[in-house]
Structure 1
Amino acid sequence: MALHMIKLCVGCDTVEELVEWQANREPAGPWIMRTRQTPKRAAELVETGSLFRVFKGVILCRQKILAVDTVGEGVNARCEVTLDPDCVRVAPTPRRAFQGWRYLEGKDAPPDLERGADGEIPPELARQLREVGAW
């Protein structure tokens, strides 16, 4: 069974903003998400996992986890999670706010949305439909 990580996306309201921010940052390089605590189940995350991102209370995308590393020592130790640059949109799924990150079991992970579908719904309309409970 796949094991994933879930984390709030702070500072971006949409997947497009996140992708644009990452594309315009200096220096260019791999996507690295930094956090305080290194997951004890890091090996499982690298084998099968993705980082699912929560935007304003809704899971909207995921990125495959490529590596999980601890950098620094002692009180200065931090975790760096290297991510695939491809953001895969997932079925919008409500999620309550939390601090830090959490594990997400594969059975609880939202499914990927089809790419390039002719009937792709604009993100703003999808948000409004979710708010009224129609999607």
Structure 2
Amino acid sequence: MPLNLIKLSVGTETPETLEVFQAQRKRDHGVIFHQTRMFPKRRDEIIAGGSIYWVIKGQIRARQLVTDIIRVEDQDGRSMTRFILDSKLVLVHNRRHRAFQGWRYFREEDVPPDLGENDSLDHDLPEDMALELEKLGLL
């Protein structure tokens, strides 16, 4: 069974702003990736079909398939880890999640389901208001 990760998407407001950032990274580097210091001990389980789940503004909002995990060096020669990501960002049912540092393994039983074709987050409400109502359990 593939292993998933969870990570805060710092600096993004919505899944759409994450897509814009990643599109620029793909133009600049030819691939979408997230770079971090720690290398996962369970690499093979992750690249066997696992995803990285993105926490945006306190909510798990989207996921991306992790296609590879490689070691690279930064500009100062320090060893870094690069999670190579699929270009498709899959929206998931929003779920609250507290802030944390770095990335974490994400247990299968905690993973929110993907949004299906007939699912919608469109509430005819401003996104900030819809998210606040979701946090309160009213939507």
What TM-score range do you get, normalising by the shorter chain? 0.7 to 0.9
Q: Distance in 2 between matches of 1:118 and 1:5?
A: 24
- Relative to structure 1, the CA distance from residue 57 to residue 111 in structure 2 (aligned partners, 3 Å threshold; closer, same or farther) is same
Q: Which amino acid aligns with 2:40?
A: P
Give the alignment of 1:38-77 within 5 angstroms. Answer: 38-72=39-73, 76-77=78-79
Question: C-alpha separation between the residues in 1 aligned to 2:33 and 2:119?
Answer: 32
Deviations 1:44-70 (A, max 9, x none): 000020000001111000000000111
Superposed displacement of residue 128, structure 1: 3.0
How far has the Cα of 1:96 moved from its partner?
Answer: 0.6
Inter-partner Cα distance in structure 1 for 2:35 and 2:48: 19
Residue matched to 2:9? 9
The CA distance in 1 between the partners of 2:36 and 2:119, in whole Å, is 38
TM-score, length basis structure 2: 0.86
Unaligned stretches of 5+ in structure 1? Answer: none
Aligned to 2:132: 128
Q: Find the counterpart in structure 2 of residue 83 from structure 1.
A: 85
Q: Identify the residue that residue 104 of structure 1 maps to in structure 2.
A: 106
Q: Give the AA of the match of 1:18.
A: L
> Residues of 2 paired with 1:28 and 1:102: CA distance?
25
For 2:46, what is the secondary structure of its paired residue? Answer: helix
Q: Does the residue aligned with 2:11 lie in a helix, a strand or coil?
A: coil
Q: How many residues end up aligned between the 2 structures?
A: 133
Q: In the alignment, what sits opposite 1:29?
A: 30
- The 8 Å contact of residues 2 and 105 in structure 1, kept in 2 or not, is answered as no
**Aligned-partner Cα distance in 1 for 2:120–2:91:** 15
SS at match of 1:89: strand
Identity of aligned residues (%): 39
RMSD value, Cα: 2.1
Quickly say closer, same or farther: Cα 1:132–1:47, change in 2 above 3 A: same
Superposition TM-score, scaled by structure 1 size: 0.88
- Any gaps of 5 or more consecutive residues in structure 2? none
What whole-Å deviation, never above 9, does each CA across 1:80-121 have from its counterpart, x for those lacking one?
A: 000001000001011110000000011211110113x37541
